[in-house]
Structures are given as structure tokens and as C-alpha cells.
Amino acid sequence: MSNVEVRFFNGGYCRQLLALVDHRSWKFDRFYAVFLAVRHPDEGWVVIDTGYGDAFKQASRRLPWRLYRWLMLMRADASAAGTLAEAGIAADEVRHVVITHFHGDHIGGLKDFPSARFHYHENALRSLARLTECRQALSAFFPALLPGDFSKRARWITSERFAQDEEVPFMSHDLFGDGLIRLVHLPGHAPGHVGVLLKTEGRPIFYAADAFWRFCQIEKPGNLMLPAYAVQWNADAYDTTIAKLREVHQDGQWELIACHGAEAQQQVAGARTAERQVASNK
Ligand SMILES: [Zn+2]
């Protein structure tokens, strides 16, 4: 059976008080907006999320969205397309983008992919699109980040197409029907929030997106501090998802990685080292 190749990239970052997550580190830490490029044997490069991207500053220029930029202390210094180009991946040839959820730090680069179809859970956008502008900004959703022809290229996946996964305690949808890339529904953080199961050559990856932020949440039961807890779409579902992810971690079969955690940064560093080796061998 074939596998996928996975590469991790940074798409900007914000700075937040780490104690909101771990209750003890009273310092500001970077929360990188990581995105992935996954090479599928038949479909080519599939991009998972897109970081803040170039468009974020423009999209957050006016109130109420400007408040988010001030509060999040965010920084984006490269586009998703530019970052991928440096790694030898042409964004205009990418045919599939998976959107784990519609927070601004995950959809900032959607406009960089003019040939892509956008795959996401049916509830992910619908629930946010209905909100008032203020509620959208509070929910970290920036409609201006969606490409003008988004609806034409949108391929939302209905809830019925998610079925109980055989390997993990969640509902999943097999993107291409070959088991290599499965979207896994991880409720709580945002409406229709999904992670992605990736069958790689080595240990398979369970990419949890924002189902948790830092690994301490998985290793030690304990709630987020209130301001961080309050931004979760459904706090009870968020806790249930984390409890199940703890089982997945304890089971040990999957490499569990969240978007904003240290494990993702190890993968980003690994991808950079691999690129340098390829360049020096040329
Ligand atoms: Zn998020």
C-alpha cells in the first residue's frame, strides 16, 4: 500500500500568555500558525490549512476585526504560496486544500490557491457565516479571507459522510477513498472542526489542528484558564475530544500533533533540514 509524504510549514504566529494553557508559565510565547503540504500518490500536493498569509492584514484592517489583531499580537511575514515555492511546491498547481476550521490563522492564505477545491465539514462555515460582524470577529472568522469564487470551489462534506473510524474513537471521512488522508471530526474548538489522519511511511500522523494547543493538555487533565476556555465554540465537546485524544496518545500508535504545539515546530524544523539536504545534493 502506498503512503503520503508530509511537510510542515510556519504561516506566521501570534503571541499569547502561556499560563492560559498550562497555568504556570507567566510569559508570552509564540503560537505558530502551522500548515501542511501532503503529497498524495495520485492527487499531488494537498494543502491542509494556510496560516495567516499575506491577506490577513488587509482583512483585519477595519473594526471589529481589527480588535482581534490587536489582542492576538499576530505577525505574518510570508504568504503560504511564497513559503511553499521555497520548498519547490507551486501553489497554483495545488488541487486540494483541506480547511480544518475557519479561524483566521488557518484560512489566511486561501487566495493563494486559485486551482484548488476546498474541503471542509459542512458545519464549519455555515455556523460562522450566520453570525453578526461582531460575533464573527469574536469567533476569529474573517469573511474577507475567502476567495471571491469560494462557493464555486467549496466541497463541504456532510455530517452523514463521516462514519465511525476503525482505528480512532472519532468519526472520519476518507478524502480520496484509499485510507491515506482521512478527515477526523474533533468537535469543540470551532464549528465543524476536523483533524487529519495521515498514513505516512513511518508512524502515522494524527494531526489534531486546534483540538488542543499544547501537549500538556493531553498529558495532564486540567482545564484551560477562563479566557482561553471562553473562546472554544463548545466547551463540553472540547473537553470530551481532549479526553479521547488522551486515549489515542496512550494507545501509542499515532503521532499526535497539534497546530500550535512544540511537536509541530519539530516537524517544521525537520522539513527545513530535509530541504537543505536536497539543495546541497543538487
Ligand atoms: Zn482555531
Contact residues for 270 (Cβ-Cβ < 8 A; gap 6+): 8
Asked if 80 contacts 11 with a C-beta cutoff of 8 angstroms, the reply is: yes
Asked if 68 contacts 60 with a C-beta cutoff of 8 angstroms, the reply is: yes
Domain count, the chain: 1
Supply the DSSP symbol for 166: S
Residue with cell 465543524: 192
CB burial of 217-231 (b: ≥16 within 10 Å; e: otherwise) equals bbeeeeebeeeeeee
E strands, 178-248, in order: 181-185, 194-198, 205-209
Ligand 1 mean position, distance from CA 211 (Å)? 8
Ligand 1 mean position, distance from CA 263 (Å)? 17
> Which run of H or of E encompasses 61?
none
pTM over the 0.75 mark: yes
Ligand 1 mean position, distance from CA 2 (Å)? 31
Ligand 1 mean position, distance from CA 280 (Å)? 37
> Which run of H or of E encompasses 188?
none
> Which run of H or of E encompasses 35?
strand 28-40
The residues with which 9 forms a beta bridge, in sequence order, are 35
Q: Which domain holds residue 176?
A: 5-281
Residues around the ion ligand 1 (C-beta < 5 A): 103, 210
Q: Per-residue confidence of the chain (282 residues) as pLDDT tens digits?
A: 589 999 999 998 887 877 777 777 787 888 899 999 999 999 999 999 999 888 887 877 777 777 777 777 777 778 999 999 999 999 999 999 999 999 999 999 999 999 999 999 999 999 999 999 989 988 889 999 999 999 999 999 999 999 999 999 999 999 999 999 999 999 999 999 999 999 999 999 999 999 999 898 998 877 777 777 778 899 999 999 999 999 999 999 999 999 999 999 999 998 777 777 777 776
Ligand 1 mean position, distance from CA 277 (Å)? 33
Ligand 1 mean position, distance from CA 210 (Å)? 5
Ligand 1 mean position, distance from CA 142 (Å)? 12
> Which run of H or of E encompasses 175?
none
What is the number of alpha carbons within 13 Å of residue 266 lying toward its C-beta? 7
Ligand 1 mean position, distance from CA 87 (Å)? 25
Residue with cell 508512524: 203
CATH at residue 159: 3.60.15.10
pLDDT tens digits for range 222-232: 777 777 777 88
Ligand 1 mean position, distance from CA 220 (Å)? 21
Going by their DSSP bridges, the two strands 171-174 and 163-164 should be labelled as antiparallel
The CA distance from 244 to 249, in Å, is 9
pLDDT tens digits for range 185-215: 999 999 999 999 999 999 999 999 999 998 9
